[in-house]
């Protein structure tokens, strides 16, 4: 019986990669310094896995920014606009330009589009393809990392994103072809990669094909058979583990089992039923099974007795030598090490397992399965059973008042008093906003000085009064600056907030927090998800103080800023002892109380951000309606208690809306702001075809890049938006919050945005 890991966190246990990257981007360290930090992280990761007893350790799972971008660079899929830069810059500089854009030395290059990696909060860089696309082996990353691991005595298993999933996850940049048509062009380069790995001594290679968890066309299913037969013919001695995760193989199971691969990985956390389906399948013969038993997406301790049930079934059918044990997916989505959490409640800590501990769980499961009667095996089982039982019985988990509040909900709690058309008239009269009102999504740059204030407060180096005085100063400055440049609806800047989910979780009951529980969201952006361990309730006001302060010193309307229930759910580690929908409604009730408190305090515009609605969508369409029903109801529960004159906004980003536009309309937000700039407003096609009735703020510039858009560029994007939407319903705003940006670029971009709005208003008036 073998153990293996599909991937490991790559930011460093102390976020060393994030810090090194940001210093490199700022020109404060060299490219070699960045490479040195990267190597140390990789070595630490490999040695941790080796020490835990993992038999096959992944390499090429490390990335400076994103694994899909890594493959794009490796196979030479560099968009034409970057070719001139590529001739002048190092490979790392080109790589980061593709990820973040490049605006200096006479260049003005937009980055690749970014979107969510399936239903996770991780973002990947979308490959761009053209009809005449060519591919060529253009780098050495997987080979270099394999050799680095070999030198350390690591039994290394290279990891590659499969060729079909890579193409399906890309985007056609012109009409008249499908990305899957490029397979014949890609395969020679992909084959060259496999050959070089084999020549270096690789015996097992993990090829990730997560698109096997999606609804696939008949054409793509045939392509899977063709491609893997070609790879097997070319490399009959090379052993391949085909990995799918995040859902079942479903109706792709026949295809998967027919492929000439040596092992098939199953995500038994997301789809426990598929093991029985596979073991009973007549095509199961030559393949080993990799059982994804340990949750790679959450932080709860594995229930050994449940996992052993699956292991015993597989052994009975296949024998021990054909059963591999693994996490459900890459551990990229989990924090590094629970041992770092010295301040966590010991009772709660006993229920948890982070990346490093999940490796130990795999090894313990292997030992129990092989030697079930050994003393150490019995002790592992006993300790695990005790932890699971203590969690189930803990009084910290359950709150009768919260449960009763959910039972008491009525249909009217999910519906605004009047329809949108009536509310819109009331709100326009009340707010007196101009055509194309300008606003931002909420946060302004969180500088080192602002973060230092929070750190000093936590350490007791600042009193609460001193801290509040500094936050008042920062808020006052940003309110006056917004008024100075002419923004129409202001925000208070959120300087008191650490993270849009963490901030609220710290003020809600039922949540716990870590010191070092960081996970990567994209590039150098790391988040520290809260842990929802119990019933959720709101003991105190969360945002009223700073919203009221900002409104008092402002001459224009200031939005109250909240994070919505589904996003708080999605971006947390969620309890696994009740349906996610139940937890979502508990959070929604807490947000509803805060919305009503803001309204009572005089805030007339309230934004409830839901960027994760689309992210939570199940991978299979047959499961969509159930999820969307409760997700939209949770938002409406949070937002529907206000009067008609109170304008409710929501924000959603990096989402394809075409398939769910009717559900988005059912949210019934007065204004929705969305990400559209990287896609050149293409996403608005869904809103036009559906005739979306409410107001929309299509994002006019990409905040995930330091690039500053020109005024003319913003005008062009809004003019495109006007071909999709009624001009009376259009707002002008950035794609997302500005927390991660620097002040210099933020100010320049927003000034251009406001000036663009003024030009467009004049043009409309001139033609009226």
Question: Active-site residue numbers?
Answer: 704
What beta strand segments (E) does 29-122 contain? 57-59, 114-116
**Alpha carbon of 336 to those of 51, 163, 345, 359: distances in Å?**
15, 29, 18, 11
Chain centroid to Cα 135, Å, comes to: 28
Look up residue 126 and give its DSSP letter.
P
Is 675 within any annotated ligand binding site? yes
Is 442 within any annotated ligand binding site? yes
Is 484 within any annotated ligand binding site? no
Is 441 within any annotated ligand binding site? yes
Is 16 within any annotated ligand binding site? yes
**Alpha carbon of 325 to those of 59, 74, 241, 294: distances in Å?**
18, 30, 12, 9
Closest CA to 557 of 699, 732, 387, 440: 440
- Collapse the DSSP code of 82 into the 3-class scheme (helix H, G, I; strand E, B; otherwise coil) and give the result: helix
Is 4 within any annotated ligand binding site? no
Closest CA to 563 of 461, 494, 622: 494
Q: Strands 239-243, 263-267: parallel, antiparallel or unpaired by DSSP?
A: parallel
d(CA 576, CA 579): 7
Task: Spell out a b/e string for 220-241, using b for 16 or more CB atoms within 10 Å of the CB, else e.
Answer: bbebbeebbebbeeebeebebb
d(CA 461, CA 376): 48
Own/partner long-range contacts of 81-88 (Cβ < 8 Å, ≥24 apart): 81/109, 81/110, 82/109, 85/109
Is 116 within any annotated ligand binding site? yes
- Which residue blocks in 280-341 are alpha helix, DSSP H? 304-318
Is 615 within any annotated ligand binding site? yes
d(CA 677, CA 752): 15
Is 666 within any annotated ligand binding site? no
Is 736 within any annotated ligand binding site? yes
Q: Which residues, at least 6 apart from 163, have a Cβ–Cβ distance to it below 8 Å?
A: 183, 186, 187, 190, 227
Closest CA to 494 of 525, 463, 451, 462: 451
Element (H, E) at 48: helix 31-51
- Collapse the DSSP code of 485 into the 3-class scheme (helix H, G, I; strand E, B; otherwise coil) and give the result: helix
Q: Are 730 and 436 in contact (CB under 8 A)?
A: yes
**Alpha carbon of 48 to those of 24, 41, 45, 58, 360: distances in Å?**
27, 11, 5, 12, 10
Is 330 within any annotated ligand binding site? no
Is 429 within any annotated ligand binding site? no
Is 713 within any annotated ligand binding site? no
Task: Spell out a b/e string for 640-663, using b for 16 or more CB atoms within 10 Å of the CB, else e.
Answer: bbbebebbbbbbbbbbebeebbeb
Q: Which residues, at least 6 apart from 175, have a Cβ–Cβ distance to it below 8 Å?
A: none
Own/partner long-range contacts of 501-505 (Cβ < 8 Å, ≥24 apart): 501/527, 501/529, 501/530, 501/563, 501/567, 501/568, 501/571, 501/572, 502/527, 502/528, 502/529, 502/530, 503/542, 503/563, 504/542, 504/562, 504/563, 504/568, 504/591, 505/530, 505/532, 505/568, 505/572
Render 229-242 in DSSP notation, one character per residue: HHHHHH-TT-EEEE
The CA-based angle 278-281-283, given to 5 degrees, is: 110
d(CA 241, CA 222): 19
Q: How many helices (H) and strands (E) does the chain have?
A: 28, 22
Is 18 within any annotated ligand binding site? yes
Instruction: Tell me the binding residues for L-methionine.
Output: 441-443, 494, 609
Instruction: Tell me the binding residues for Zn(2+).
Output: 651, 653, 675, 736
Instruction: Tell me the binding residues.
Output: 15-18, 116, 121, 441-443, 494, 525-526, 571, 609, 615, 651, 653, 675, 736
Instruction: Tell me the binding residues for L-homocysteine.
Output: 441-443, 494, 609
């Amino acid at each position: 019986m073998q153990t293996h890991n599909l991937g490991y966190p790559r930011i460093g246990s102390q976020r060393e990669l994030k810090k090194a990257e940001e210093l490199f981007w700022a020109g404060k360290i060299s490219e070699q310094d960045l490479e040195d930090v990267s190597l140390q992280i990789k070595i630490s990761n490999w040695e941790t896995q080796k020490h835990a007893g993992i038999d096959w350790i992944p390499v090429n799972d490390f990335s400076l920014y994103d694994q899909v971008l890594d493959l794009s660079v490796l196979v030479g899929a560099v968009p034409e606009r970057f070719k001139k830069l590529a001739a002048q810059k190092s490979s790392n500089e080109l790589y980061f330009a593709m990820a973040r854009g490049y605006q200096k030395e006479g260049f003005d290059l937009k980055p690749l589009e970014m979107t969510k990696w399936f239903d996770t909060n991780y973002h990947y860089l979308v490959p761009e393809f053209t009809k005449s696309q060519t591919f060529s082996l253009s780098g050495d990353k997987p080979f270099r990392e394999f050799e680095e691991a070999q030198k350390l005595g690591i039994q290394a298993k290279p990891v590659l994103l499969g060729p079909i999933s890579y193409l399906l996850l890309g985007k056609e940049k012109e009409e008249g072809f499908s990305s899957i048509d490029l397979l014949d062009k890609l395969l020679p380069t992909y084959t060259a990669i496999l050959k070089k790995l084999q020549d270096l001594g690789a015996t097992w290679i993990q090829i990730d094909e997560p698109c096997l968890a999606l609804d696939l066309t008949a054409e793509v299913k045939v392509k899977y058979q063709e491609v893997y037969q070609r790879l097997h013919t070319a490399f009959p001695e090379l052993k391949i583990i085909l990995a799918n995760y995040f859902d079942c193989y479903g109706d792709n199971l026949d295809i998967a089992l027919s492929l000439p691969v040596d092992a098939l990985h199953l995500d038994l956390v997301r789809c426990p039923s598929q093991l029985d389906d596979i073991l009973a399948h007549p095509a199961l013969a030559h393949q080993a099974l990799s059982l994804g038993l340990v949750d790679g997406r959450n932080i709860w301790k594995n229930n050994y007795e449940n996992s052993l049930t699956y292991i015993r079934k597989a052994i009975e059918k296949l024998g021990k030598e054909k059963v591999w044990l693994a996490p459900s997916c890459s551990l990229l989505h989990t924090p590094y090490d629970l041992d770092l959490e010295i301040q966590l409640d010991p009772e709660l800590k006993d229920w948890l397992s982070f990346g490093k501990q999940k490796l130990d769980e795999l090894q313990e499961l292997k030992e129990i399965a092989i030697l079930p009667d050994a003393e150490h095996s019995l002790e592992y089982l006993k300790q695990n059973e005790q932890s699971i039982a203590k969690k189930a019985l803990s009084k910290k988990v359950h709150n009768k008042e919260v449960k009763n509040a959910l039972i008491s909900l009525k249909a009217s709690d999910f519906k605004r008093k009047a329809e949108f058309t009536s509310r819109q008239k009331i709100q326009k009269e009340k707010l007196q906003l101009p055509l194309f009102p300008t606003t931002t999504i909420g946060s302004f740059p969180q500088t080192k000085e602002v973060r230092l204030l929070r750190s000093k407060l936590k350490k007791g180096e600042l009193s609460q009064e001193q801290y509040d005085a500094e936050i008042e100063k920062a808020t006052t400055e940003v309110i006056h600056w917004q008024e100075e440049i002419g923004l129409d609806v202001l925000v208070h800047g959120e300087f008191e907030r650490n993270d849009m989910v963490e901030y609220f979780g710290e003020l809600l009951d039922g949540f716990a927090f870590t010191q070092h529980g960081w996970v990567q969201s994209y590039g150098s952006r790391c988040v520290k998800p809260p842990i929802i361990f119990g019933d959720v309730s709101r003991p105190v006001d969360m945002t009223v103080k700073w919203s009221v302060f900002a409104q008092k010193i402002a001459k224009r309307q200031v939005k109250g800023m909240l994070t919505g229930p589904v996003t708080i759910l999605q971006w947390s580690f969620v309890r696994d002892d009740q349906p996610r929908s139940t937890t979502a409604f508990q959070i929604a009730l807490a947000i509803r109380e805060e919305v009503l408190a803001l309204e009572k305090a005089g805030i007339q515009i309230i934004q409830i951000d839901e960027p994760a609605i689309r992210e939570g969508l199940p991978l299979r369409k047959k499961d969509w309606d159930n999820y969307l029903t409760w997700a939209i109801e949770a938002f409406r529960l949070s937002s529907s208690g206000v009067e008609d004159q109170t304008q409710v906004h929501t924000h959603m980003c990096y989402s394809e809306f075409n398939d769910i536009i009717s559900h988005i309309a059912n949210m019934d937000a007065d204004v929705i702001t969305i990400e559209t700039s990287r896609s050149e407003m293409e996403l608005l096609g869904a809103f036009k075809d559906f005739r979306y009735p409410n107001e929309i703020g299509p994002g006019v510039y990409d905040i995930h890049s330091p690039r500053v858009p020109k005024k003319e560029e913003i005008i062009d994007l809004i003019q495109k938006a006007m071909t999709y939407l009624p001009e009376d319903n259009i707002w002008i705003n950035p794609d997302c919050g500005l927390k991660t940006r620097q002040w210099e670029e933020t100010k320049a971009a927003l000034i251009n945005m406001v000036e663009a709005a003024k030009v467009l208003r004049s043009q409309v008036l001139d033609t009226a």
